[in-house]
Structures are given as structure tokens and as C-alpha cells.
Amino acid sequence: MPVNSLTLCAPAKLNLFLHIIGRRPDGYHQLQTLFQLLDYGDELTFTLNQGPGVVLTCSQPALANADNLVIRAAEALAAFSGQIFNVQIHLNKRLPLGGGIGGGSSDAATTLLALNHLYRLQVCEADLLRLAASLGADVPVFVKGQTAWADGIGERLTPMPLPERWYLVVFAHEHVATPLLFAHPQLTRDTPASTISPALAESGHNDFETLVRSLYPAIDRAFQACQPYGQARLTGTGACLFLTLPNESAASDLLNRFRLDHPELSVFLAKGVNNSPALRRLRQELN
């Protein structure tokens, strides 16, 4: 196969709300959430070569290991398709680890999409979504590539276009232990189920927030730091939280003020988008 190269964004996501409505007999939690895709994320470059296999490099070298979801996604697609991949993958890691903004999940989804495209495998979306679900509950939304309402364990997706607002994302340099939170006896698991409604983007809540703030003082301090600027919300199980802004000008002003007032926190701006920048780029490649 001739050498070819493709660079794609692996976009971040926010959970505009996250309700836990119950627990299944197999131990998985039933959720309702609204995934908002962002125009900011990690960046992956895929270069086809003559071998040997899948080689991952990373801007954070410690992440270039066999447990990385990029490698696991490539292995899953290879097993499904029967294709042998000889590809160099470089991951430019821009999203914080354990931030609740989907970094690893998005990297995995982008890997599935890129290899399916570069090797012309023609694996259909339904099969890609099944592979994605086997890698993690948040991976399918990035394969689908649309801002969406999610039910079940997060895998049942209903596209839901939203106004393209701006977000200030705040990271408190904590790594939240997600399995610990799901198992914690103080976690609220009985929020009433809701019908699909975009209004919950404003009125919903995150059932993990109270528990996370009690267990991780640095995240609670980040919430307090955001209080003068608006109502911050936790995304996923944390550790990132976000403030919603009406436009880019307001977002840029807040970014500058926040960096001056709170240099101990990491912050970035992103625009909410209804369609994944990775899928937009792939469509351009096809045209």
C-alpha cells in the first residue's frame, strides 16, 4: 500500500448535564446526558508505511504504551476487519488526562475512523459503533460525530443540534478515579428519567458534582474560583468544569481575567460544535 498520511482532530466533549437514573443488574449505571462536542482536542497523525505493525508515539512519551486506547482501537479494528495495519501514529496530547472531557475516548474513535478511511475498509457506521462501545462508554459519541442526547450507559445516541456557544474549560490538576465514584455509597443513583429535551442543557445537573467536590478539595476550590464569573458545571466525572459564554469576545475576556486571577488552574477556550471536526475533515478527503 502506498505511503499516505492524514492528520485529524480528536475533539473534546462536555457533558452539559449528567443524570444517573439507576443501576443495571450487571452493575453498569444507566445514564442520561447531553454530549456537546467542541472544536478543540488532541491531534493525531496517521502515516502508512511498510511496517512493523502499529507504532505509537506521543508528545507525552509515557502515554505511548500498549494500554493506550489508540493501540486498543487499532487492534480491535484489525481483528474485526482482518486487515494488518502498518502505520505510524503520532498523538499530540492537548487535553488533560482524567479530565472528563473524553480525551482517550476521542483518540480511540479518531483511530477507528482514520484507519477505516486510510485502508478503505468500508466498515459501516453500525459496526464501528459496536467496536467503539467495546472500548468505552464515551467512544461511540465520537464515532457518531454529533452533539447528542445519550441514554443507557451512554451508547444510545440521539443527535441534538444546539446553539454553538463558547466554553471556558477549567482543569484543577486532579485525576479523578472514575471507578471509585461509580462504586461510592454516597453517589446519587435515582434521578428521575427525563424525556429528550434540549432545555436540560441549562436546567439539568451532574449527579457526580457533590461527591467529587467533597472528595477532591482542589476541584471544590476550582468551583469557588469560577463563582464570580457564572455557574460552573462539572463535565463527566471530572476533573474539568466549564463556564458557558454567549460569544467569542466574552469568552476571550474571561480567559484573560481568569488566567490573571488563578494561575494555579489550567484553562482553555473552545467553541461548541454540532459536528465533529474529525468527520468534517474526512468528508473533505472524500470529495
Annotated catalytic residues are 13, 138
Burial of 26 (0-12, 13-18, 19+ CB in 10 A): exposed
Q: Which residues of 153-166 are buried (b: 16+ CB within 10 A; e: fewer)?
A: bbbebeebebeebb
Residues contacting residue 100 through CB under 8 Å, at least 6 positions apart: 15, 176, 234, 235, 236, 237, 238, 239, 240
Q: Are 67 and 119 in contact (CB under 8 A)?
A: no
